[in-house]
Amino acid sequence: MIRSFPFLPSRAAFAMLLWVLWSGAEASTFTVVNTNDSGVGSLRQAMLDANGACGSNRVEFAIPGSGPHAIAVTGSLPSITCSLIVDGYSQAGSQMNTRTPDQGGLDTVLAIELVGSGGNGFLLANGAAFYTVTVQGLALHGFSQPIAGNSNLAGNSQVNVYGNFIGTTITGQALAGTGNSSSTLRTGQSSAQVGGIQPWQRNLLSGGANFGVLIDGPAIVEGNLIGTDASGTTAIPNGASGNGPAIRIPSNRANIRIGGASPDSRNVISGNRSFAINIARQSGASQYVGLEIQGNYIGTDWSGLHPVPNGFSQANAAIFGGGIQVSGALADSTAAIIGGFGPGQANLIAFNSGVGIIASANGASESFDSRANAIHGNHGPGRANIDIGANGPTPNDPEDADGGANNGQNWPEVVAASQVGDQLSVTYRVDTSPANAPYPLRIDFYLDAQGGSGTWLAQDSYPESSAQAPRSVVLTVPAGARALPFVATATDADGHTSEFSPAFDVVFETDFD
């Protein structure tokens, strides 16, 4: 008889445990004591020594004299081959950020500035062994890739990026004279943690010539300012040269979260030249599983009250860029989830120069599920807050047979509505045949106080038994909310969300004779 011992770790887990124990025992600290590009006491030498004494090592800074201290890097720094923490906060005079996203921008004080000459900064080497690299408390600019995970062997490394200013001056108030020629950060196939819910973990990621953050593997991006200065009020755009987005997610990526339900997870993604987030199509099949975009401010300052738009007007008056662009194929039922119905999960997408959420017209596979987001004040053709064909407002078609981006989902047609107190009575229909979309349909109603959308009000489920027929419901809206006027979206059971319906004015009634 063969006995099973479910409590025993797998060979891989056991090997990793041994590696962790071994690497912890071998940890060493290598100290940078000058601003030379090479030689004894330099950053380059400290990294070479850390690679040579492979373990869970640290590089710290103890450069004498009043700071901040700038290190001019010629070419590329050595690729990192073992677990390593590079800690700019170890330098005297530095101060970790103390502010949460609700408290404003960053009060970080950095004391070490790395000035590149077009090469790579901290690049994780490709290798078979698992290792973790953390880069924190530094200002970096002038590199092709200031920080980059490895380019293959997904899951074989972890990169953590905490408390850095990447692409700006050391004060975070302006674009650095030597900007980053590609992106501020590329995660590679490594698992990545960019920022975090602790104030000291928040990064400033601005001024990337092409992209801001390029996500190639599993990643959590939270708590950062992306495209603004350190105050979170003024634009320092990513994509200023290459028109790339602030965050780009290429094809076939899984387990990515941008933002989160906690206010401390909120990213401010504003002031960028192109889109805030691009979910991109590349050659071949494009599938995204476990992609969530939640709780972010996109197109506003840190407070969510003032415009810092993404996108720009071109010379021919055409608008380029905006909020979130979906141009890649998404697996049905596991598509990109933008927002959510739980506390703090909805995104604020406002004031952008282009559309709030747009799915390109490349094919039927472009899809997203928009949930309870506050989307208002964006610019573009017609109802510019959701566009599922990159062609402005799309009229409904008979039985919803058209297909296209987000399956061309028809929007709800409101027949009548009235409100008494917090009770909203609505009669509506959705002209979608069960042959053309999976039921039930989720119907979301939004306040339209600023044109196009606003605060999420309520939700209804449109069953297959009611398909294409008028349905009357009484919905409870938030206390004190006046649904005047309102708009609605329809989302099929596979997560394809429609554009917003035209605004419908509510008839108000009193609850007394």
Give residue limits of the domains in the chain: 28-220, 399-508
Phi, psi of 148 (to 5 degrees): -145, 130
Count CB neighbours of 278 within 10 A.
23
In the structure encoding, which two tokens stand for residue 419, read together? Answer: 């409100």
Inter-CA distances, 130 with 35, 125, 199, Å: 31, 11, 28
In the structure encoding, which two tokens stand for residue 512, read together? Answer: 């007394």
Contact status, residue 308 vs residue 273, Cβ threshold 8 Å: no
């939700």: which residue's tokens? Answer: 459
- The gap from C-alpha 323 to its chain's centroid, in whole angstroms, comes to 11
Rounded CA gap, 134 and 80, in Å?
11
Would you state the pLDDT for residue 152?
A: 64
Rounded CA gap, 485 and 182, in Å?
45
Inter-CA distances, 6 with 3, 18, 19, 240, 367, Å: 10, 19, 22, 54, 40
Task: For residue 252, give the amino acid letter.
Answer: N
Would you state the pLDDT for residue 513?
A: 40
Helix %, strand %, coil % for the chain, to 5?
10, 35, 55
Tell me the three state secondary structure of residue 401.
coil
In tens digits, the chain (513 residues) has pLDDT values of 333 323 333 433 433 443 444 444 468 999 999 999 999 999 999 999 999 999 899 999 999 999 999 999 999 999 999 999 999 999 999 999 999 999 999 999 999 999 999 999 999 987 656 889 999 999 999 999 999 887 765 557 899 999 999 999 999 999 998 766 677 788 877 889 999 999 999 999 999 988 899 998 899 999 999 999 999 999 999 988 767 899 999 876 778 999 999 999 999 999 999 999 998 865 555 566 789 999 999 999 999 999 999 998 765 556 778 999 988 655 554 568 999 999 999 999 999 999 999 987 555 556 789 999 999 989 876 567 899 888 888 999 999 999 888 889 999 999 999 988 889 999 999 999 999 999 999 999 998 855 546 789 899 999 999 999 999 999 988 877 776 789 999 999 988 999 999 989 877 655 544
In the structure encoding, which two tokens stand for residue 37, read together? Answer: 């590009």
Would you state the pLDDT for residue 78?
A: 97
Rounded CA gap, 309 and 378, in Å?
9
Taking Cα atoms as reference points, which of 347, 301, 344 lies closest to residue 323?
347
Let me know the angle formed at the C-alpha of 80 by 74 and 86, rounded to the nearest 5 degrees.
Answer: 80
- How, if at all, do strands 225-226 and 204-205 pair? parallel
Of the CA atoms within 13 Å of residue 149, those in its CB half-sphere come to 29
Tell me the three state secondary structure of residue 132.
strand
Rounded CA gap, 116 and 411, in Å?
51
Q: Where are the beta strands (DSSP E) in 353-482?
A: 357-359, 368-371, 374-376, 386-387, 413-420, 423-429, 441-447, 456-462, 471-476
Of the CA atoms within 13 Å of residue 375, those in its CB half-sphere come to 31
Taking Cα atoms as reference points, which of 90, 257, 68 lies closest to residue 172?
68
Rounded CA gap, 130 and 271, in Å?
37
Contact status, residue 370 vs residue 359, Cβ threshold 8 Å: no
| Bridge partners of residue 168, in order along the sequence | 175
Q: Which helix (H) or strand (E) holds 45?
A: helix 43-52
Taking Cα atoms as reference points, which of 232, 223, 327, 220 lies closest to residue 270?
232
Rounded CA gap, 234 and 311, in Å?
14
Would you state the pLDDT for residue 3?
A: 36
Would you state the pLDDT for residue 286?
A: 54
Q: Which CATH architecture has domain 399-508?
A: Sandwich (2.60)
Tell me the three state secondary structure of residue 50.
helix
Task: Give the 3-state secondary structure of 69-109.
Answer: EEEECCCCCCCECCCEEEEHHHCCCCECCCCCHHHCCCCCE
Rounded CA gap, 490 and 139, in Å?
45
Helix count and strand count (H, E) for the chain? 2, 39
| Bridge partners of residue 192, in order along the sequence | 159, 219
Taking Cα atoms as reference points, which of 304, 318, 302 lies closest to residue 350?
304
Would you state the pLDDT for residue 485?
A: 86
In the structure encoding, which two tokens stand for residue 131, read together? Answer: 């290792």
Rounded CA gap, 337 and 494, in Å?
11
In the structure encoding, which two tokens stand for residue 490, read together? Answer: 């329809």
